[in-house]
Amino acid sequence: NTIEFTGALHATVIKQVRLKNPSKKPLIYNAIFRGRDADDFSLPKGNTITIAPKKQASMNVEFTIRFLRPAEALLLLTSHGIDAATLTFSLKSEVKHIEPAGVIKCKSPCYEL
């Protein structure tokens, strides 16, 4: 699965990942970011998520677009306790537009003898 973060340069984009627990026991996942731009992604509510039996839970993944080049990382969710599948999500960013931080006016002669 790929989660795409698109927006303006320097914008903070939040995406929600919804996880379901079909089992009769609670699931506890620990989230880890890996890859070239892993440090640019974060989980505002912490790196651990607990999903009650037969329920679903959501986790927010936050990213601030700092560069024009696409950012890439992996989100790995590993389980604690019972044996549950390790979940992997590909995280990618794309700058859709650039808004100026400000405008500077200056006067200067174009040509001088």
User: What's residue 84's pLDDT?
Assistant: 81
- Where in the sequence is the domain holding 80, given as residue range(s)? 2-97
Q: How confident is the model at residue 110 (pLDDT cuts 50, 70, 90)?
A: confident
The enclosing domain of 80 has a CATH number of: 2.60.40.10
Is pLDDT above 90 for 17? yes
User: What's residue 113's pLDDT?
Assistant: 74
Q: Is residue 10 part of a domain?
A: yes
Q: Is residue 12 part of a domain?
A: yes
pTM above threshold 0.85 = no
Q: Is residue 104 part of a domain?
A: no
Residue 49 contacts residue 28 (beta carbons within 8 Å): yes
Residue 32 contacts residue 74 (beta carbons within 8 Å): no
Q: Is residue 32 part of a domain?
A: yes
How many residues make up the chain in this entry? 113
User: What's residue 1's pLDDT?
Assistant: 85
Is pLDDT above 80 for 80? no
Q: Is residue 76 part of a domain?
A: yes
CA proximity to 62, closest of 37, 42, 45, 80:
42
- How many domains in the chain? 1
